[in-house]
Amino acid sequence: MILATIQANPVQGALCGGLIAAGATALGTLPAWFSRGISERFQDALLGFGAGVMLAASAFSLVLPGLQAAGESGLGPWSSGSLVGAAILAGALAIMLMERWVPHEHFIKGPEGPSPARLKRAWLFVFAICLHNLPEGLAIGAAFASGHAHGVLLTTGIAIQDLPEGLVVAIALMAVGYDRTRAVLVGAGSGLIEPVGAVLGASVLVAAPLLLPVGLGFAAGAMLFVVSHEIIPESHRQGHEQHATSGLMVGFVLMMLLDTALG
């Protein structure tokens, strides 16, 4: 009964998907309780893996369904491509502007955005993680709005990449001076933005179904910006490009298989 209700209600499905992704992030932080740390090389491989999953999810779970939805609404190939392409650029621009307006700090690259002088460093890291996770939540919501199966597959892929992401966040916080408990709690809490973004994305697209191609493209653009501007530079900044790239390839193929073989 509950499953049938979720399948019939995209917003409820998106909420469940966002909570699953957030739970995966929290679960991923738990090994930090028992580990003194992981090597920088392995951290970069995990970041690369997450980037690969997000790249494949953007292409197979968001862009292609967006093009299909645009075609089903009566648009031709050029019009469909232009509409989804414009939405991709708009999604990337939105996250770019948020990066400029919200002060935050990366683990390796350092501070960005307005002057962070009045904010504690912990909050700068939290803001950076939220900026990273918001597009994932929006993507889950958009995917559920396009169909339950799309939502389940994208949730699965994002949850898989959130497991190592949670660990990397907790370990990185410990590396810059946070105690083990605080690092795990902040890492676990960082995923809570995902159900918020998922419900927001699904609610908008359910209320205005004609915006579905735009919403899917917007979520894809936001994720692509995060991958290019955040994850890949972070994973390459310590000289472990080969391991990061290997992780990216594995993550991309895994998400591609999930989406094409199971979808």
pLDDT tens digits, 16-57: 999 999 999 999 998 888 766 678 888 889 889 989 999 999
- Asked if pLDDT for residue 225 goes beyond 60, the answer is yes
For residue 2, pLDDT over 60 is answered with: no
Q: Would you state the pLDDT for residue 179? A: 81
Using CA atoms, how far apart are residues 112 and 223, in angstroms rounded to an integer? 19
Distances in Å between the alpha carbon of 261 and those of 192, 207, 253, 257? Answer: 30, 31, 11, 5
User: What's the whole-number mean pLDDT along residues 188-203?
Assistant: 91
pLDDT band at 173 (very low <50, low <70, confident <90, very high): confident
- Cα separations in angstroms, 30 against 118, 202, 244: 31, 30, 23
Q: Of 130-134, 212-216, 227-231, which range is least confident?
A: 130-134
| The three-state (H, E, C) secondary structure of 217-243, written as one string | HHHHHHHHHHHHHHHHHHHHCCCCHHH
pLDDT in tens, 110-150: 545 544 444 445 555 556 667 778 888 999 999 999 888 88
Q: For residue 5, what pLDDT is reported?
A: 47
pLDDT at residue 176 in the model: 65
3 band by pLDDT with thresholds 50, 70 and 90 = very low
| Average pLDDT of the segment spanning 192-205 | 92
121, two tokens: 């460093």
Q: What is the pLDDT of residue 127?
A: 64
Neighbours of 115 (CB within 10 A): 8
Q: Can you give the pLDDT at residue 174?
A: 78
Instruction: State yes or no: pLDDT of 175 exceeds 60.
Output: yes
Position 33 scores a pLDDT of 81
The Cα-based distances of 173 to 24, 38, 102 in angstroms read 18, 12, 20
> Which two three-digit tokens encode residue 186?
């902040």
pLDDT of 178? 76
CB 213 within 8 A of CB 84: yes
pLDDT score of 117 = 46
Mean of all residue pLDDT scores within the chain? 83
d(CA 52, CA 251): 4
Q: Partners of 105 in the beta sheet?
A: 111
CB 19 within 8 A of CB 157: no
What gap in Å lies between CA 91 and CA 208, rounded to an integer? 18
Lowest pLDDT segment from 18-27, 77-86, 101-110: 101-110
Instruction: Kindly give, in sequence order, each residue whose CB lies less than 8 Å from that of residue 205, ignoring residues fewer than 6 positions away.
Output: 10, 141, 142, 145, 146, 211, 212, 215
